[in-house]
A and B are shown apart, each in its own frame.
Chain A
Amino acid sequence: EAQVTQNPRYLITVTGKKLTVTCSQNMNHEYMSWYRQDPGLGLRQIYYSMNVEVTDKGDVPEGYKVSRKEKRNFPLILESPSPNQTSLYFCASSFGGSHEQYFGPGTRLTVT
């Protein structure tokens, strides 16, 4: 089944404790992206990747890191999480940035 998977789905952590949210797709998509969704703010793009080893900042990249070493994986790294990073995070992929996006199920992160 074609899908985008994210892990974990739910995470509660403390300020400053490094964490990684994984994202994997099995559709051989070139483009992958991370978004955060906050009430009243809609979805905001954090980082995107047009292909392996190519990453670019979205609208809200501060406090996040990404890497794209393999085509199928695009992990999101929070080196020192803070409470303002509490949010619902979505990973998405597509054949190219200009094509329809396939979204993962989301990761609900709480930073205390």
Chain B
Amino acid sequence: SQQGEEDPQALSIQEGENATMNCSYKTSINNLQWYRQNSGRGLVHLILIRSNEREKHSGRLRVTLDTSKKSSSLLITASRAADTASYFCGLFNAGGTSYGKLTFGQGTILTVHP
């Protein structure tokens, strides 16, 4: 079954540094979605990248997708203390009996020190 694995589990950096987190998966996807969660609150959508796309940007965020390696990365440039949160990748399955399922990884906890 589909499973998302995020790496690293936790990341601690200084303000101004870049943060990179990765997501790997097992079976074909329709798209991959990155979300952010602040301490027990609802998830907030960041970027969606479709299976036929390789890279997307949104402000200080850059997402890449390598379907041959079944992996994606989220890069946050020039990080700020306000970026401190948990980040999750969501995998929307490609089809078959799993179409409609959205599977999340366990998340990466990012701490940005002022």
Q: Once bound together, how far apart are the Cα atoms of A97 and B31, in whole Å? A: 10
User: How many interface contacts (CB-CB < 8 Å) are there between A and B?
Assistant: 63
Do A106 and B88 have beta carbons less than 8 Å apart?
no
Instruction: Check A102/B45 contact, CB under 8 A, given A42-B88, A42-B104, A42-B107.
Output: yes
Query: For residues 63 through 114 of chain B, which have their beta carbon under 8 Å from a beta carbon of chain A?
Result: 88, 90, 92, 99-107
Do A98 and B1 have beta carbons less than 8 Å apart?
no
**Interface centre among B40, B45, B88, B100, by most A CB within 10 Å?**
B100
Do A44 and B104 have beta carbons less than 8 Å apart?
yes
Do A59 and B100 have beta carbons less than 8 Å apart?
no
Do B106 and A101 have beta carbons less than 8 Å apart?
no
B contacts with A: majority SS: strand
B44 contacts partner chain A, Cβ-Cβ < 8 Å: yes
Residue in contact with B42 in the complex, picked from A33, A58, A59, A103, CB distance below 8 Å:
A103
Query: For residues 33 through 73 of chain B, which have their beta carbon under 8 Å from a beta carbon of chain A?
Result: 33, 35, 40-45, 48
- Chain A residues with CB under 8 A of B102: 33, 45, 48, 97, 101
- Chain B residues with CB under 8 A of A50: 100
- Chain A residues with CB under 8 A of B88: 42-43
Do A100 and B104 have beta carbons less than 8 Å apart?
no
